[in-house]
Structure 1
Amino acid sequence: MPVIFVRPGRPEDVPAIMAIIAGARAFLHSQHIDQWQGSYPNQPAVEEDIAAGHNRVLTVDGKVVGMASLIPGPDPYYKCLEGKWTNGAEAAYYAIHRFALGDAGRGLHLTRPFFTALISELYRDGVRDVRIDTHADNKIMQHVVKSNGFAPRGIVYLDEPVAERLAYQLVIDEPAK
């Protein structure tokens, strides 16, 4: 049985993370999805995420096979939503950005456990509002996001050539006592 867990990214993970980004970029290109087809995400962004403590890596038997960043809001792009955030644009939240599985993790059904670990970490730290966005053509990621409890909230516009992104939100409600 493989040992699978999520941990904070470290500087020595940068080459593996960059390989995951390159593989994700190639996969999106093969699916005719115009997401991550420019120079972003790039190594400086990854290094900044690691230095700030935002990057997380998914490991299988010690090998980095996935990556994501947990970024505290406010996200400037999320302020101008065509739609409505459940708790409003100014509510405290975290965003999951730069989520990807590498070729070594593809097909192993690791997306749900990876999301579960990320959301559990945020919950443990008191976060009850989690947001994410994805390209309108990225049907795989839309399925992943929705199947992990996120609800569609509208459209945000990033500073990229194809800037329109579908925005989703997960509000973790406490059970009534």
Structure 2
Amino acid sequence: MPAIYTRQGTAADIPAIMGIISDARAFLKAQGINQWQGTYPDQPAVEADIAQATNRVLVMDGTVVGTASLIVGPDPFYKRIDGDGWVGTADYMMIHRFAASAKVRGQRLSKLFMTSLLSEAYRRGFRDVRIDTHAQNQIMQHVILGNGFQFRGIVYLDEPVPERNAYQLVMQ
């Protein structure tokens, strides 16, 4: 069985992370989903995540095969939410820029990666975790809902199609 773990991303991981984002962009485009079809997420966003120590990578047998950002809120884009809205007012963490390499697609590593991020949030004292994705991104929604998140409504970002489905997990 391969060694699989999550760690903080480093500057040396940037080429692998950008490759994963490129894979995800192409995969979304092939599905007719316009999420990530512009320049975002770009290398400056990844570099900022690494500089702020918010990037996490999923490593399998020494190779970076996943990337995400685990960020302490609040998120200005989460202030407005149409729908049922957020549950509670506790401090929260967000998961952004979550993607897996095309090399591991179908191996169910996204669920494992998400579980690792949630465990880190819990260890750090956060019981509220939030995430958003494009309404057509059924695969990401499957990962989100499969990890216990609940749909809370629609939030609005700065992208060409700003509406995103928003989800929340309140851990006990």
In structure 1, the partner of 2:118 is 119
Structure 2, unpaired ranges of 5+: none
Q: How far apart in 1 are the matches of 2:15 and 2:140?
A: 24
Q: For residues 3-22 of structure 1, what are the structure 2 equivalents within 5 Å?
A: 3-22=3-22
> 1:121 aligns to what SS in structure 2?
helix
Aligned pairs for 1:76-91 within 5 A: 76-83=76-83, 84-88=85-89, 91=90
**TM-score, L = length of structure 2:** 0.98
Residue 45 of structure 1 and its aligned partner are, at CA, apart by 0.3
Question: How many angstroms apart in 2 are the aligned matches of 1:136 and 1:112?
Answer: 19
Instruction: Name the structure 1 match of 2:166.
Output: 167
Give the Cα separation in 1 of the matches to 2:120 and 2:152. Answer: 23
CA RMSD of aligned residues (A): 0.7
Alignment of 1:92-103 (within 5 A): 92-103=91-102
* Unaligned runs of at least 5 residues, structure 1: none
1: CA distance, partners of 2:111 / 2:39: 28
1:162 CA drift (Å): 0.3
Aligned-pair distance for 1:108? Answer: 1.4
Question: 2:52, 2:27 → 1: CA distance?
Answer: 28
Identity among equivalent positions (%) equals: 63
Deviations 1:100-147 (A, max 9, x none): 001122121101111111000110110100000000010111111001
Q: How many residues align?
A: 171
TM-score normalised per structure 1: 0.95
Aligned to 2:143: 144
The whole-number CA distance in structure 1 between the counterparts of 2:160 and 2:111 is: 30
The amino acid across from 2:86 in the alignment is W
